[in-house]
Structure 1
Amino acid sequence: MDTSPRILFVCLGNICRSPAAEGVVRAMDPTLTLDSCGTGGWHVGEAPYGPMQQAAMARGYDLSDLRARQFTPKDFARFDLILCMDGQNLEDVEAQRPNGAKTPVRLFTDYAPQLGADKVPDPYYTRDFDGALDLIESCAKGLLKSLN
């Protein structure tokens, strides 16, 4: 029986940060059950944003099979850990928490405290796709270390 945690990554539109986090962690540990989603529904069904896919692919992370979906309260039952890319995502997820749901919701950056970052900045707006990936890789390493 698989006892590894089911982990969900959440950002705003599910086209940059959370699919990148899913792809990076999947590449680092393909045995984990992972998914990503957005708090907004603007991009449901779309592939990750082209420039994010290109930046990820340059590092060996293929995001092309991922498709955006929107967070739902059912995700609290489907996952053991929900990791948000920024504080607003975390607030939006917590606002949908069903009564009695115990699934922890944390910031992804909690897994790289040495960096002093309180969010993964959205490269859709900052245009810093490599900077976002640098941070995501550091958080992913910290996450995997915490699971061992």
Structure 2
Amino acid sequence: MIHVLFVCLGNICRSPMAEAVFRNLTEQEGMKDQFRIDSAGTGRWHEGKPPHQDTRRMLDQHNVSYDGMTARQVNVADWDEFDYIIAMDRQNYSDLEALRSFDEGVVVAQFMDYVHDSDMEDVPDPYFTGNFEEVYELIEKGCENLLADIKEAYKL
């Protein structure tokens, strides 16, 4: 089983959107049983809360389920549990690197590394920009490319 964790600041906008979209992609490809997909935030302000209402609205528009998702904070144990930890922006990546005390083969990457047709370095935080549509489009592209990379790496 391949474990993938998406990380943003508060775990109510970008990372749960990526979790839901990536989960949906694996289901569409008949691979959901081969993955464990989760999301977390570097901060704990929203722990236990569902995704932001506009994240839910955007996922509803695209018929992507977010059932049962609640915010949590990333923790050191995640390094033992996940094969891929994907940061939604450079600050999240930096925060994750500060948590990492060793390299056990966990792929730690920035989400925009998987969006090949953009010059952007970060997934904009729609909590502040309000642009959930743009974020959804970036996340959809990035998740498709991430899944393609994982399929290639694991010969799926």
- TM tier relative to shorter chain: over 0.9
Percent identity of equivalent pairs: 39
Deviations 1:3-50 (A, max 9, x none): xx2100000000000000000010010312100000000000000011
Structure 1 counterpart of 2:59, from 53, 56, 60? 56
2:20 to 19, 23, 32: 23
The residue number in structure 2 matching 1:73 is 76
Output the amino acid matched with 1:59. Answer: H
RMSD: 1.1
Residue ranges of structure 1 left out of the alignment (5+ in a row): none
Residue 39 of structure 1, aligned match among 38, 42, 45: 42
1:96 to 94, 99, 106: 99
> How does 1:109-124 map onto structure 2 within 5 Å?
109-124=112-127
- Deviation string 1:68-127 (CA, Å, 9 cap, x unpaired) is 000001101110010000000000011011235431210011111222221110001000
State TM-score, norm by structure 2: 0.89
Give the equivalent residue in structure 2 for 1:9: 6
- Give the Cα separation in 2 of the matches to 1:62 and 1:130: 17
The answer on whether the counterparts of 1:13 and 1:41 sit within 8 Å (CA) in structure 2 is yes
Match 1:84 to one of 83, 87, 105? 87
Structure 1 partner of 2:154: none
Deviation at 1:64, TM superposition (A): 3.7
Deviation of 1:56 after TM superposition, in Å, equals 1.3
TM-score by length of 1: 0.93
Provide runs of 4+ in structure 1 moved above 2 Å.
98-102
The alignment partner of 1:130 has SS state of: helix
Alpha carbons of 1:59 and 1:100: their partners in 2 closer, same or farther (altered >3 Å)?
Answer: closer
**Cα distance in 2 for residues equivalent to 1:101 and 1:85:** 21
Equivalent residue pairs, number: 145
Give structure 2 stretches of 5+ with no counterpart: 152-156
Structure 1 residue 107 corresponds to structure 2 residue 94: no
